[in-house]
Amino acid sequence: MTDDNNRKTRFLRFVSCPPVWFVAVWCFVTLLLAAASVVAVILIEETNAACIVLYAVAALFLAYAVYAVVRTAPDGARRVAGRLRENKVTGALIGDYGKRTVALAVLSLVVNVAFAAMNWVNAVINDAIWYRAITGYYVVLIIIRVVVVVAGSVSKKKYRSEDVSSYRAGLKVYLVCGAMLSVLEVAIIVAIIQMVASKRPIEGDGIYAIITAAYAFYKAIMAAVNFVKARRYGDPIVQSLRNINIADAGISIVSLTVMMIAVFGDGDADDPSMKAVKAFVGFGAVAIVTAMSLIMVIKAVKRLRIKEADRHELRKDECDICEEE
């Protein structure tokens, strides 16, 4: 009896708090059962006893999978975070918002290159001006990201121990980024004119459009959240990279609008109301990028002048001290 009770206790403890490897295996089996259920629904016209058993087992596996994931997620996240912090590279990324921003900017750069290549291929295959315009936009975006990342990294290494000089170098990068965003505005305007004037060749269906919409809104929300965080962080280079993300999110929303109208609309590309919607969303994005570009240039010039005045004042004080001596 005692051995039976011990086994029951160990089993209940195992089930109530399963190890991570068991949860992973259980979730994998659950996915297989869910896929089998979907296939059964599609292929089998009349539901039989085997189908009912399959659906019931899949539901039970899914219920326990949800419980197991919720139960083990916090502990698993803490273990993963602890191991990441112990690593030199990942620990630096987790602990330093600036380094994490640069790393994500490099990742975004890779994604932009992929999107530019994909749109250029579509432009060649479909002979569509729409895709050429989007490719041009991504090329300009890639150049801006490369300039900010490279210039920011060089300035950080050059003025590693000089806070004032490093900040001034960051402000110069911030100024250049603001000026280059004005060039990006031109690329966005060209792309938007093509979006409004022409019909995009659409690949995919409603499910693809919904997935794209979820990604676009996620990108926009994260860009807005990190925009606020970057302002609090106080690093001009980090702020520059986050501002670029705002511009990138804006064109994603515009492209999404065109896709949603093409997929879920009535198919009339010349409908004035639909063209008005595309124009409103598109030039709204242009207005945001334009305002951001102007604010960056004005703010950078003002702060550089203040820092230069402070430097002259410091030199004057040093000269006065020398004369007194």
Per-residue 3-state assignment (H helix, E strand, C coil) for 2-40: HHHHHHHHHHHHHHHCCCHHHHHHHHHHHHHHHHHHHHH
Mean of pLDDT over the chain: 76
Cβ partners under 8 Å of residue 95, min gap 6 = 85
Residue keyed to tokens 């693809």: 208
Contact 174, 296 (CB under 8 A): yes
Among 58, 294, 297, smallest CA distance to 176 is for 297
- For the cut 60, the answer to whether the pLDDT of residue 314 exceeds it is no
Q: What is the DSSP string of 205-260?
A: -HHHHHHHHHHHHHHHHHHHHHHHHHHHHT-HHHHHHHHHHHHHHHHHHHHHHHHH
pLDDT per residue as tens digits for the range 19-49: 878 888 888 898 888 888 877 777 776 767 7
Q: pLDDT-based confidence at 183, cuts 50/70/90?
A: confident
Predicted local confidence at residue 188, as pLDDT: 80
11: phi then psi, degrees, rounded to nearest 5: -65, -45
Predicted local confidence at residue 119, as pLDDT: 79
Residues in the chain: 325
Among 197, 171, 183, smallest CA distance to 144 is for 183
- Give the torsion sign (CA, 105, 148, 177, 234): positive
Residue 325: Cβ-neighbour burial (10 angstroms; 0-12, 13-18, 19+) = exposed
Tokens describing residue 224: 């807005």
Residue 11: Cβ-neighbour burial (10 angstroms; 0-12, 13-18, 19+) = exposed
Among 260, 230, 232, smallest CA distance to 243 is for 230
- Give the mean model confidence (pLDDT) for residues 211-221: 77
Instruction: Specify the range with the lowest mean pLDDT, choosing from 13-27, 229-243, 244-258, 306-320.
Output: 306-320
Residue 8: Cβ-neighbour burial (10 angstroms; 0-12, 13-18, 19+) = exposed
Cβ partners under 8 Å of residue 148, min gap 6 = 105, 173, 176, 177, 237, 240, 241, 244
- For the cut 70, the answer to whether the pLDDT of residue 215 exceeds it is yes
- Give the mean model confidence (pLDDT) for residues 132-137: 83
Contact 231, 162 (CB under 8 A): no
Q: pLDDT-based confidence at 87, cuts 50/70/90?
A: low
Helices (H), 127-162: 129-158
